[in-house]
Amino acid sequence: MGKNRKDEQLEQYRVDDTGKHLTTNQGLKVAEDEFSLKAGQRGPTLMEDFHFREKMTHFDHERIPERIVHARGFAAHGEFEVYESMKEFTKAKFLQDPLVKTPVFVRFSTVAGSKGSADAVRDARGFATKFYTEEGNYDLVGNNIPVFFIQDAIKFPDLIHAVKPEPHNEMPQAASAHDTFWDFVANNQESAHMVMWAMSDRAIPRSYRMMEGFGVHTFRFVNEQGQAHFVKFHWKPVLGTHSMVWDEAQKVNGKDPDFHRRDLYEAIENGDYPEYELGVQLIKEEDEFSFDFDVLDPTKLWPEEDVPVKIVGKMTLNRNVDNVFAESEQVAFHPGHVVPGIDFSNDPLLQGRLFSYTDTQLIRLGGPNFHELPINRPVCPFHNNQRDGYGRHTINRGQVSYHKNSLAQNTPSPASEAEGGYTHYQEKMEGHKVRARSESFKDHFSQAAMFWNSMSAPEKEHIKKAFSFELGKVQSKSVQQQVIDMFSNVSIELVKDVAEAIGADIRKQGGSTVTKSSPALSQENTMKTAKTRKVGVILGDGFNGKDVTLVLDQLKDSGAQVELISDRLGKRVGLDEVEFDVDHTFLTSDSVLFDSLYVVGGKDVSNQFKQQAIYFTKEAFSHYKPVGATHDGMKWFEELGIIDQTGVVTNEDVNNFAGEFTHAIIAHRHWDRQLV
Ligand code: HDD
């Protein structure tokens, strides 16, 4: 793979210390790095020890403040290409030429948890993309949920105070299942729609590679002629949108708190590059008022069946970072980083974000020169009269640092529009200075009900369970009841079971009158494939090597990833002397770390081995995962009493088995199951 422009730029900052002498930061070679300088072997350390002082001081200052939200994240490099010119709608250069590959850096994150929190929590996920374009950096700072909790940025500190651990005891970590969050929800009912998403499967994605991304706000595309369209941005994962189940997610957080970052990192290392198509929904300026929602309201989506998503390009993530701190931690995103052809709307949430992001980098990255950090530098030149400040790298030459001037021929000079100068869309504005919210923002429940209507039966079941879990953790009876009252406006079918689970009452009848649904919102209708699905193969000594090899080869041909689990590491030997290297033991892995299990067993396995295999199978089965067995595994499935259930594949003919099992894997989960 050739280096793209960003990669080339980063190269000049990369350092490899291997094989080099140890030096101080001043370049002085160090003769000794184990003993501080002392007055006598048993004496006190001397102030004079510059090496000790420098090493310790640097260490003492290693930590920077974590992000106030989205602290837990993981990022990767990649490229974006447009499929066809978007000239009709926008003049943004990176959206014109299909031959141009624009370098990108994407950071995925959870929202509420601290930097060291677990990955598989119930939360929205951040999906922030920095495009290093020829015209400057463009940041699309989105989430995996297309709407937001609040309609005005002034409420963001309140929302985050409510969802973060409670201040008197700093609990719970990375969870919304506590009183203050639900108190906020019940008393800020604009949150209804996003809460529905947050209680749905969307909030526990299977992988960062299998979740959608959304710009959330309405932005503007502006073309060469100055014509504007309202636009909403979508990322559609090529592998489809898939989730875990809640019990599984909670266990994953114990078995592998790094589950999502490991998944992304390993996929890229294996060459299974995550891909996402960029989609846009476009609404003409003159149609601004043609919808039953306000296009400026960030708690509303544009149903894809009404405003189709036009797929315009593809992003491929193909390189892991060299250093997580230098790149993923120091990257600074900002919805206000735009390029000509992309402009804002008056969405009051977006407008407030335009202030917050630079402000937060000042404290987080320690001053106004964070744009000079390697990961944040544009790949195009940048020139202005800004000077100095902590950590300045650039050595600006010359006498002049002001505009206008004559000593430097009035340069750096503003560029005309034709020369690529950014001009703001000339929207006509008029109005009174008011602290208010538009009447058109006041319907909080119609789209929440549409979301509910759009869910498949299992998805509805999961939402009920999520509400029951979260509210079940709330201590205040009053808050629990208020939430039931609030969501009675969405669906009585939903709140009935939840109220019963938490001992609350249904005090409002009626539910919503909205019957509309949007099939695009259900994950049931997503792309399904076996590609990159992890199959755990349970086998011990004495297996049938020929048969197992055939099955594993077919699974690999389908794109699935096969990993071997046994009672100990090392080689397992088949009856026909076929050998396999074991990847994990029952101790070091767990069924929750796999998409499916293929249980083979072996003639020479112990009873304990069998019990472990059954335990793994039972858990995978209870998470609706495809499970398959041949040989000894079939007997164990019979013992478990799961043979006739959906997504349970057994077949003595290994050829048929491989085909059927692959189909079961493609289905992702088998909801139609009686749990044993
Ligand atoms: Fe935000 C980080 C996404 C509303 C203020 N936000 C942040 C990140 C993402 C989002 C993905 C992490 C970027 C990274 O990986 O470094 N935020 C959103 C979306 C929102 C949203 C999709 C609603 C549509 N955010 C929002 C509001 C405000 C902020 C209303 C404040 C007015 N967000 C911030 C922040 C953060 C941030 C405090 C923390 C770290 C950072 O910016 O760089 O400024």
Q: Which amino acid is at 335?
A: P
420 Cβ neighbours under 8 A, 6+ residues apart: 135, 340
Domain boundary among 341, 376, 411: 376
- What is the tens place of the pLDDT at every residue in 428-447? 999 999 999 999 999 999 99
361: CATH: 2.40.180.10
DSSP three-state, residue 104 = strand
From atom 22 of ligand 1, which residue's Cα is the shortest distance away?
142
From atom 37 of ligand 1, which residue's Cα is the shortest distance away?
69
Q: Using omega within 30 degrees of 0 as the cis cutoff, is the peptide bond preceding 155 cis?
A: no
550 and 612 part of one domain? yes
> Is there a domain that residue 540 lies in?
yes
Q: How far from 85 is each of 37, 91, 92, 342, 645, CA to CA, in Å?
A: 66, 9, 10, 15, 50
> Is there a domain that residue 179 lies in?
no
From atom 3 of ligand 1, which residue's Cα is the shortest distance away?
142
> Is there a domain that residue 291 lies in?
yes
> Is there a domain that residue 188 lies in?
no
Candidate from 356, 362, 371, 376 with most ligand 1 atoms within 8 A of CB, to mutate: 356
What pLDDT does 500 receive? 98
CA of 333 to the centre of ligand 1 (A): 8
The answer to whether 115 and 106 have CB atoms below 8 angstroms apart is no
What pLDDT does 383 receive? 97
Domain boundary among 331, 358, 376: 376
- What is the tens place of the pLDDT at every residue in 326-383? 999 999 999 999 999 999 999 999 999 999 999 999 999 999 999 999 999 999 999 9
DSSP three-state, residue 506 = coil
Question: What does the alpha-carbon distance between residue 131 and residue 136 come to, in Å, rounded to a whole number?
Answer: 8
Q: Which atom of ligand 1 is the closest one to the Cα of 69?
A: 39
Q: Which atom of ligand 1 is the closest one to the Cα of 355?
A: 32
Two tokens, residue 402: 């002001």
From atom 25 of ligand 1, which residue's Cα is the shortest distance away?
353
CA of 162 to the centre of ligand 1 (A): 16
Q: Which amino acid is at 365?
A: L
Residues with CB under 6 A from ligand 1: 67-70, 73, 107, 109, 126, 128, 141-143, 148, 153, 156, 216-217, 298, 331, 333, 349, 352-353, 356-357, 360
Q: Which atom of ligand 1 is the closest one to the Cα of 357?
A: 44
How many other C-beta atoms can be found within 10 angstroms of the C-beta atom of residue 382? Answer: 13
481 and 572 part of one domain? no
DSSP 266-307: HHHHTT---EEEEEEEEEEGGGTTSSSS-TT-TT----TTTS
CA of 380 to the centre of ligand 1 (A): 25
CA of 5 to the centre of ligand 1 (A): 27
**Mean of pLDDT values over 307-323:** 98
Sign of torsion over alpha carbons 532, 536, 542, 543: negative
459: CATH: 1.20.1370.20
Two tokens, residue 227: 């014509």
568 and 466 part of one domain? no
**Mean of pLDDT values over 378-394:** 97
- What is the tens place of the pLDDT at every residue in 251-268? 999 999 999 999 999 999
136 and 251 part of one domain? yes
Two tokens, residue 450: 């549409």
Q: How many domains does the chain have?
A: 3
Q: Which atom of ligand 1 is the closest one to the Cα of 127?
A: 11
What pLDDT does 468 receive? 98
Q: Give me Rg for the CA atoms of the chain.
A: 28
Candidate from 67, 68, 69, 188 with most ligand 1 atoms within 8 A of CB, to mutate: 69
CA of 641 to the centre of ligand 1 (A): 49
> Is there a domain that residue 183 lies in?
no
With cut-offs at 50, 70 and 90, classify the pLDDT of residue 1: low
CA of 455 to the centre of ligand 1 (A): 28
> Is there a domain that residue 164 lies in?
no
Residue 676 has pLDDT above 80, yes or no: no
216 and 139 part of one domain? yes
**Mean of pLDDT values over 504-528:** 95
> Is there a domain that residue 167 lies in?
no
Torsion of CA 17, 21, 24, 28, to 10 degrees: -140
Q: Using omega within 30 degrees of 0 as the cis cutoff, is the peptide bond preceding 298 cis?
A: no
Q: Which atom of ligand 1 is the closest one to the Cα of 143?
A: 22
Residue 609 exposure: Cα atoms within 13 Å on the Cβ side: 20
CA of 559 to the centre of ligand 1 (A): 36
Range of the structural domain that residue 600 is part of: 530-666
362 and 480 part of one domain? no
Q: Which atom of ligand 1 is the closest one to the Cα of 109?
A: 15
From atom 28 of ligand 1, which residue's Cα is the shortest distance away?
353
207 and 310 part of one domain? yes
Q: Which atom of ligand 1 is the closest one to the Cα of 331?
A: 16
Q: Which amino acid is at 530?
A: A
With cut-offs at 50, 70 and 90, classify the pLDDT of residue 631: very high
Among residues 401, 506, 491, the alpha carbon closest in space to that of 446 is found at: 491
Q: Which atom of ligand 1 is the closest one to the Cα of 214?
A: 22
141 and 244 part of one domain? yes
Helices and strands (H and E) in the chain: how many: 16, 18
The answer to whether 619 and 591 have CB atoms below 8 angstroms apart is yes
553 and 622 part of one domain? yes
DSSP three-state, residue 13 = coil
CA of 128 to the centre of ligand 1 (A): 9
Question: What does the alpha-carbon distance between residue 588 and residue 594 come to, in Å, rounded to a whole number?
Answer: 13
With cut-offs at 50, 70 and 90, classify the pLDDT of residue 511: confident
**Mean of pLDDT values over 138-144:** 99
Helix (H) or strand (E) holding 459: helix 457-472
513 and 548 part of one domain? no
508 and 537 part of one domain? no
CA of 152 to the centre of ligand 1 (A): 13
> Is there a domain that residue 574 lies in?
yes
Mean pLDDT of the chain: 97
641: CATH: 3.40.50.880
Among residues 564, 621, 558, the alpha carbon closest in space to that of 588 is found at: 564
281 and 342 part of one domain? yes
Instruction: Look up tokens 């804002």; give the residue.
Output: 344
From atom 4 of ligand 1, which residue's Cα is the shortest distance away?
353
Helix (H) or strand (E) holding 598: strand 596-601
CA of 360 to the centre of ligand 1 (A): 10
CA of 289 to the centre of ligand 1 (A): 28
DSSP three-state, residue 39 = coil
Residues designated as active site = 70, 143
Here the contacts of 665-668 (C-beta below 8 Å, separation 24 or greater) are 665/530, 665/533, 665/535, 665/555, 665/558, 665/560, 665/595, 665/596, 665/626, 666/528, 666/529, 666/530, 666/558, 667/528, 667/626, 668/206, 668/240, 668/242, 668/528, 668/595
- ipTM of the prediction: 0.98
Candidate from 333, 334, 337 with most ligand 1 atoms within 8 A of CB, to mutate: 333
From atom 27 of ligand 1, which residue's Cα is the shortest distance away?
353
- What is the tens place of the pLDDT at every residue in 168-199? 999 999 999 999 999 999 999 999 999 999 99
Q: Characterize the bridge pairing of strands 561-566 and 534-539.
A: parallel
Domain boundary among 353, 376, 399: 376
Question: What does the alpha-carbon distance between residue 84 and residue 431 come to, in Å, rounded to a whole number?
Answer: 40
Question: What does the alpha-carbon distance between residue 243 and residue 399 come to, in Å, rounded to a whole number?
Answer: 59
Question: What does the alpha-carbon distance between residue 566 and residue 561 come to, in Å, rounded to a whole number?
Answer: 17
- What is the tens place of the pLDDT at every residue in 33-83? 999 999 999 999 999 999 999 999 999 999 999 999 999 999 999 999 999
What pLDDT does 341 receive? 98
Candidate from 140, 353, 365 with most ligand 1 atoms within 8 A of CB, to mutate: 353
